[in-house]
Chain A
Amino acid sequence: MKSYNIFMSGVGGQGIGLLGEVMIQSCLAAGYAVLGVDTHGLAQRGGVVVSHLRIGNREKLFTPRITPGEADLIISLERLEAYRAIVNYMRDGGTAIYYDAEQQPIHVRMGISNYPDTTDLEQAVADRHGKLERVYIDDLPDVRMQNTAVLGRIASFELVEGVTGDIIREQLLEISPGASREANLRVFEQASAARA
């Protein structure tokens, strides 16, 4: 098969690490060869965090980073980062799924740049003939569970053949810290069921 490219992004502290870990382990569990890389230079200081994941046959996976314009699936935990990812990385006909959190960077706060709204994202996706899925949970018990909510919604589709909702749930339970496991599972199921 041609490799399938999953581009994940968010803001430092949002839990892209856990999201990426669940996705890479799920793809592995579904029998794909995987190659990934995280870019997190100054992630803890509110910078952009990106996780690249390429899956397919091992002999067709060469470098871990996704070429701009070649992402089949974009998963983002914040609206501006979703927009940036779509504009730069989405391939024609790709899919983007994002948690609609808003974290304004300093340029927006200081009035130098604009913050995108939902219609900007819809337009960017339409330009690429792609699909857009927005995730938002009104009563999320902890902002650190936005990643879990997105995973729950991903689980309700089978976006990557063989990477089923059951596999994703299993990997999330395997990886999420003991104390938060039950709460995570509730958010996961809620986001999964809330699919439009």
Chain B
Amino acid sequence: MSKFADNMIRKDAWTGLMMGNHALVRAMIESGVMVASAYPGSPTPEIAAAIEIIPEEQRPLHFEWSTNEKVATETAFGASINGHLSVVFFKSVGLNVALDSAVQLSMLDCTGGLVVIIGDDPGANSSQNEQDNRYTGRMMMMPIFEPGTPGETYSMFMEAAELSKKLKLPVLFRMTTHVCHARELIDFGAIPDYEYDWTPRFHAEGLEYWPITAAVFPLKRKAFAKLAAVEKHGLTSPSNRVFSPNGSEPVKGRRLGVITHSIPAYSVLECLDLSGSSIDVLKLGITFPLCEELVLNFLREHDEVFILEELDRIIEHEIKAMAFDNGITTKILARPDVEHLMHEFVPERVWELFSGFWPECFAPKPPRNAAVEDVSPRLAQMCPGCGHRSAFFAIRELIDEEFPTTITVADIGCHSLGSMKPYEMGSVLLCMGHSNGTAGGMAIGNDSRKVVCFIGDSTFFHAGLPGIINNILYDRNVTLVILENYTTAMTGHQPHAATGEIGDKIKIVDVLEALGVKFLRSVDAYMQDKLKDHMRDAMNHDGFGIVIAKHPCMLKFIRDKRKRAAATKDAQAVNR
């Protein structure tokens, strides 16, 4: 077993350098988590990697990849109402997929405890948007914990899991990209001697797990009562902290404060270290429900308070309403511009923002001597040998030669990169699995332009099937190209239903045949002439046609080959 895996499950307390995503796994094990489920998506896949590196027979928790985020959420929920502490994790937009189920959970007693971990992505580092899931948490009536460092990730997860168990309430644990990937030295605790009891303890007296029509209201009332308990918890929670790094003296007769959260809180502290100004910082680790007493006390103790949040104006509006309702006259300052509602709040941006309000503390800095120099961008691109590249090249050629007005619809995956030069395949992109629905809509009443859409194999199962079934049912004039590379490539080669790594392969071609697809061809993506022939036939076919362009992900293929070679070498060394 690797040293890393050894550390993850060692019983005694220890100190180690750890990434936020990995610290989370140690926290899960120390908290006694029994079930974890997930769907891969940046910035969260390293959470799974840290679990999977522990040999299965020594892994204290059950972990599985689910077909999509909704199934993953339901899996963790099911385990939780059986009495087992559970977690589910996925990326920011994964919560949209999970939402139909996730939005119900707070009304139901999650008896074992349930932590929903999301990797939000301010800055859209690896996502199609910057959506602020602190809104979603409010809609789901789930308390929101927001760590700002790997160390906080570790300690706050344990607090969140404990609270979730105690209140039988799911908790939203909101990581962000640079919390997930930051690294620092963390003091870990010991792992208690857990008796992992797998007895299915689900129990329902009546309709308490059946939230329909009139049955909704008692359940919703219960959720509100639990949230009130969380608000009270916030008053003494170590996750909500006041920092006064330079003392609390008035600045020019005004007592100044900042209310903030997550990484921006540390950006503020870095600015205060440079400035030396005496400004208090209330860092909220639990940002829903806001602890009113804590916030009001902080407002009352200051003459001017700046509310600095990353992305949307959420706590800003809530705090302003609280101040209004309580007749508080503290001057509340906030971000003035829509530009401030985008991107991450790194120290440089915080300084610039504050300098407009408190120039005596944050002297405006001249713009850095950034003579605009011609540095070529380096966009991500498909790897050498990638089958998608070959398929895009051939299809681009066919379209240019024979169907120049064709509309192409992209989907999520490595093949999204085909939208860029030189292939420019895929002009519309929404989210996982949208391509069939969008393409179907573009085919309505359209006799003049061909519509071609793409999807990958993991996405086929994740959210692709409903759109495909729709196109089969209406026999839309759409050509679907399934780019099958036998893995979930973009996020680091996780297995899916058709790879055979989880259970028996569910072959895509078998699924499509069973669905009664009338035009179905399959070809290796390297066979460009044959692929072009199939595509020409599919595009001339009146109705829905599917071409599977298959080729293994070469990155994975080469790595597996190297691993096999190394294993053979080791085996030979042992035999010698």
Q: Does B466 contact A (CB under 8 A)?
A: no
Q: Does B184 contact A (CB under 8 A)?
A: yes
What residues of B have a CB within 8 angstroms of the CB of A110 in the complex? 421-422
Given contacts A25-B17, A65-B178, contact A108 B347 (CB under 8 A): no
Residue of B nearest to A81 (CB): B378
Residue of B nearest to A174 (CB): B3
Q: Does B381 contact A (CB under 8 A)?
A: yes
* Residue of A28, A40, A45, A62 touching B266 (CB-CB under 8 A): A62
- Mask: chain B, 320-360; 1 = CB below 8 Å from A; 0 = not: 00000000000000000000000000111000000000000
Whether the pair B492, A44 counts as a contact (CB closer than 8 A) is: yes
What residues of A have a CB within 8 angstroms of the CB of B421 in the complex? 106, 110
What residues of A have a CB within 8 angstroms of the CB of B269 in the complex? 62
Q: Does A145 contact B (CB under 8 A)?
A: no
Residue of A nearest to B269 (CB): A62
Stretch at the interface among A31-39, A153-161, A162-170: A31-39
Q: Does A4 contact B (CB under 8 A)?
A: no
Whether the pair A80, B125 counts as a contact (CB closer than 8 A) is: no
Residue of A nearest to B43 (CB): A41
Residue of B nearest to A35 (CB): B184
Whether the pair A63, B346 counts as a contact (CB closer than 8 A) is: yes
What residues of B have a CB within 8 angstroms of the CB of A33 in the complex? 185
Q: Does A67 contact B (CB under 8 A)?
A: yes
Given contacts A28-B185, A34-B185, A36-B183, contact A80 B378 (CB under 8 A): yes
Q: Which residues in window 231-269 of B have CB below 8 A to A?
A: 263, 266-267, 269
Whether the pair B184, A63 counts as a contact (CB closer than 8 A) is: no
* Residue of B346, B370, B383, B490 touching A46 (CB-CB under 8 A): B383
Whole-angstrom CA separation of A25 from B17 in the bound complex? 8
Q: Does A105 contact B (CB under 8 A)?
A: yes
Q: Does B190 contact A (CB under 8 A)?
A: no
Q: Does A124 contact B (CB under 8 A)?
A: yes
Residue of B nearest to A64 (CB): B182
* Residue of B17, B125, B381 touching A41 (CB-CB under 8 A): B125
- Mask: chain B, 345-385; 1 = CB below 8 Å from A; 0 = not: 01110000000000000000000111001111111111100
Whether the pair A68, B185 counts as a contact (CB closer than 8 A) is: no
Q: Does B201 contact A (CB under 8 A)?
A: no
Q: Does B542 contact A (CB under 8 A)?
A: no
Whole-angstrom CA separation of A60 from B270 in the bound complex? 8
Whether the pair A124, B346 counts as a contact (CB closer than 8 A) is: no
Q: Does B181 contact A (CB under 8 A)?
A: yes
* Minimum distance in angstroms from A42 CB to a CB of chain B: 4
Given contacts A68-B368, A113-B376, A179-B566, contact A63 B17 (CB under 8 A): no
Q: Does A12 contact B (CB under 8 A)?
A: yes
- Mask: chain A, 119-148; 1 = CB below 8 Å from B; 0 = not: 000001000000000000000000000000
What residues of B have a CB within 8 angstroms of the CB of A98 in the complex? none
Q: Does A69 contact B (CB under 8 A)?
A: yes
Q: Which residues in window 1-51 of A have CB below 8 A to B?
A: 11-12, 24-25, 28, 33-48
Q: Does B470 contact A (CB under 8 A)?
A: no
Whether the pair B347, A63 counts as a contact (CB closer than 8 A) is: yes
Whether the pair A47, B378 counts as a contact (CB closer than 8 A) is: yes
Q: Does B52 contact A (CB under 8 A)?
A: no
Q: Does B414 contact A (CB under 8 A)?
A: yes
Given contacts A63-B346, A67-B347, A179-B569, contact A107 B183 (CB under 8 A): no
Whether the pair A124, B373 counts as a contact (CB closer than 8 A) is: yes
* Minimum distance in angstroms from B449 CB to a CB of chain A: 27
Whole-angstrom CA separation of A61 from B270 in the bound complex? 8
Residue of B nearest to A36 (CB): B183
Q: Does B80 contact A (CB under 8 A)?
A: no
* Chain B interface helix/strand/loop/mixed: loop
- Mask: chain B, 377-404; 1 = CB below 8 Å from A; 0 = not: 1111111000000000000000000000
Whole-angstrom CA separation of A81 from B376 in the bound complex? 9
Whole-angstrom CA separation of A42 from B490 in the bound complex? 8
Whether the pair B555, A105 counts as a contact (CB closer than 8 A) is: no
Whether the pair B273, A62 counts as a contact (CB closer than 8 A) is: yes
* Minimum distance in angstroms from A162 CB to a CB of chain B: 17
Whether the pair A63, B270 counts as a contact (CB closer than 8 A) is: yes
Whether the pair A12, B178 counts as a contact (CB closer than 8 A) is: no
Q: Which residues in window 166-182 of A have CB below 8 A to B?
A: 179
* Minimum distance in angstroms from B4 CB to a CB of chain A: 11
Q: Does A185 contact B (CB under 8 A)?
A: no
Give the interface centre of B273, B347, B376 by most chain A CB atoms within 10 Å.
B376
Whole-angstrom CA separation of A28 from B186 in the bound complex? 13
Q: Does B42 contact A (CB under 8 A)?
A: yes
Q: Does A87 contact B (CB under 8 A)?
A: yes
* Minimum distance in angstroms from A84 CB to a CB of chain B: 5
Q: Which residues in window 403-459 of B have CB below 8 A to A?
A: 414, 417, 420-422
Q: Does A118 contact B (CB under 8 A)?
A: no
Given contacts A63-B270, A63-B346, A67-B348, contact A39 B181 (CB under 8 A): yes
Q: Does B126 contact A (CB under 8 A)?
A: yes
Whole-angstrom CA separation of A63 from B150 in the bound complex? 11
Residue of A nearest to B351 (CB): A67
Whether the pair B378, A37 counts as a contact (CB closer than 8 A) is: no
Q: Does A99 contact B (CB under 8 A)?
A: no
Whether the pair A114, B376 counts as a contact (CB closer than 8 A) is: yes
Whether the pair A44, B375 counts as a contact (CB closer than 8 A) is: no
What residues of A have a CB within 8 angstroms of the CB of B267 in the complex? 62-63
Whether the pair A69, B17 counts as a contact (CB closer than 8 A) is: no
Whether the pair A47, B379 counts as a contact (CB closer than 8 A) is: yes
* Minimum distance in angstroms from A21 CB to a CB of chain B: 9
Give the interface centre of A38, A88, A106 by most chain B CB atoms within 10 Å.
A106
Whole-angstrom CA separation of A24 from B16 in the bound complex? 12
Q: Does A83 contact B (CB under 8 A)?
A: yes
Whether the pair A45, B17 counts as a contact (CB closer than 8 A) is: no
Whole-angstrom CA separation of A105 from B417 in the bound complex? 14
Residue of A nearest to B16 (CB): A28
Identify 28 residue pairs between A and B in the complex whose beta-carbon atoms are under 8 Å apart, listed by A's number.
Answer: A24-B183, A25-B17, A36-B184, A39-B125, A39-B178, A40-B181, A41-B42, A43-B380, A44-B555, A45-B382, A48-B378, A62-B266, A62-B267, A63-B270, A63-B347, A65-B178, A65-B346, A81-B378, A84-B378, A87-B373, A87-B375, A88-B375, A105-B379, A105-B381, A106-B421, A107-B379, A113-B376, A113-B377
Which are the 3 A-B pairs with shortest beta-carbon distances?
Answer: A113-B376, A42-B380, A47-B380
Q: Which residues of A contact B (CB under 8 A)?
A: 11-12, 24-25, 28, 33-48, 60, 62-65, 67-69, 80-81, 83-84, 87-88, 105-108, 110, 112-116, 124, 179
| Given A35-B183, A105-B377, A107-B377: 10 more A-B contacts, CB < 8 Å | A41-B380, A46-B380, A63-B270, A67-B347, A68-B348, A83-B375, A88-B370, A113-B375, A114-B376, A124-B373
